[in-house]
Each structure stands twice: as structure tokens, then as C-alpha cells.
Amino acid sequence: MAQAALIHGDIDFYPEYTGTAMASVVKGDLSGSANKIYDDVKQFYEQKFQLTWLKPSNINNGYAMLVKPELAEKYKLAILTDLSAISKELIFGAEAGYSDRTDGLPALKRVYRIVFKEFKNSLVLISGIAHFLATTSI
């Protein structure tokens, strides 16, 4: 659901496990190296969804951040360090527990000095998207 919220413009960033994306979305081979899985997932998301994967974090290298390519290009975002100067302008979305996890928002603040303007948890996003889909002709 965070992916839909990003595409819809409700959030600017969200974290995703590369293995989860490979298994659930790409439906590809998980037997490769972490770098191979990341590269395959990144290429798939760019082609299918026009979303950009930043490099995995040093906090938890299974997570990578997704962002729309326009935002990545505008701010020249490639790695998490690039976010520290502009994060206060951005809305971050993730599962509810991410705001308190030691490898979640607290670590982004501590390691990268990233503090987002707003945090939206997935349950709120799901409700908003469900309302949007129920009230919009697509």
C-alpha cells in the first residue's frame, strides 16, 4: 500500500525490503547475491512503476528507500546521506512500527540526520487509498 501511496503522491518516500519486493512484486529469483537482487528489483521498479530505489542503508541493508524519479532527480538523491538537507520538506510513509524501530526512523535521524516533515503509517495510507479508490472513477 505504501507503493500506491507513493505513486498517488500521498508520501514522498518509503522503505522496502529488497527481498520482499523480489518475492512479492517482481516474483523473481531470491537465490542471487544481495547486490544482484537489489539491481534486479531496482530495474524492474524503474521499468514497471517508474519508481527509483536508492541504495540500501547502512542501518539495515535489507531496506532501501523508494522515491519518484522526479524527486530523486530534483534533489540529486542517490544515497540516504543526500536526504539530510531536504528531509524536512518530505513526507515519509511506512508501517506503523517503523517510527519506533531501532533500525527505523530513530536510526535515520541518528546516523544520517534525517528528520521528515511528516510520518504517515501504512494503516492511515490504506484507509486514504481505499477512500480514494471508492470515490474516484479510474
pLDDT at 46 over 90: yes
pLDDT in tens, 51-108: 998 887 666 556 678 888 888 899 998 888 898 899 999 988 887 778 887 778 888 8
Indicate yes or no: pTM above 0.75. Answer: no
Size (the chain), residues: 138
- For 3, 56, 94, 98, 125, the CA distances from 16, given in Å and listed in that order, are 9, 9, 9, 11, 15
Report pLDDT for 42. 93
The secondary structure element, H or E, covering residue 15 is: strand 14-17
∠ CA(31), CA(36), CA(42), 5° rounding? 120
